[in-house]
Amino acid sequence: MKYIIFLLIVFINSNLFAADDLFIMGERAFESKANCAWCHGVFGDGKGHPRSPGIAANLRETVLDEELLTEVLNCGIPGKAMPFFNRKAYKDPAICWDTVFDDYEKEDMPKKGDKTLSDQKVKAVVHYILVNFKDRGKVTKTECEEKFGAGTKLCKKYD
């Protein structure tokens, strides 16, 4: 019995770590590797504009679920400034709605992101959006200080 409990604890812990790893991987990709934050803001509120192209969506208000978020990350949004991040997007028709580059007018074709993301990284960023942004409402001072440290001037504008 003790042995079973021990195994159970190991199992539960390893799952917690796995989820945490995914969160951290997603956070890193969002803020630096894929530069999502340049357009969407570190808090996902779409406040990258006006320096970035297009008016990026407020991810805190997104209605997209895991499946649709994955699709948007892989394929971008045709006709909008949202780039695509799957290396094989629009080459392998299986990735984006059975379409390839040649199916689009030049101005509608999404740009390729600064860096492409592996399936695992896309999964991590989707997890990060769902856990850290979606339905979180307005950015709070607490949330800002958790990211940048207590007393940071940058956080004065929240609350």
Q: Is 131 in the site for ligand HEC (CB under 6 A)?
A: no
One-letter identity of residue 23: F
Where does this chain touch ligand HEC (CB under 6 A) — which range of 17-25, 75-83, 90-98, 146-154?
75-83
Q: Which is nearer to ligand HEC, 73 or 95 (CB)?
A: 73
Which positions from 43 through 72 interact with ligand HEC, judged by CB under 6 A? 52-57, 59, 62, 64, 69, 72
Cβ-count burial of 26 within 10 angstroms (0-12 exposed, 13-18 middle, 19+ buried)?
buried
Q: Is 124 in the site for ligand HEC (CB under 6 A)?
A: no
Provide CB contacts within 8 A for 137, sequence distance 6+. Answer: 60
Closest CA to 124 of 22, 43, 42, 55: 22
Cβ-count burial of 83 within 10 angstroms (0-12 exposed, 13-18 middle, 19+ buried)?
buried
For residues 119 and 87, the answer to whether their CB atoms sit within 8 Å is no
Where does this chain touch ligand HEC (CB under 6 A) — which range of 12-20, 76-84, 131-139, 147-155?
76-84
Of 28, 31, 47, 80, the one binding ligand HEC (CB under 6 A) is 80
Of 35, 70, 99, 132, the one binding ligand HEC (CB under 6 A) is 35
**By the criterion CB under 6 A, which residues form the site for ligand HEC?**
30, 34-36, 38-40, 52-57, 59, 62, 64, 69, 72-73, 77, 80-83, 85, 125
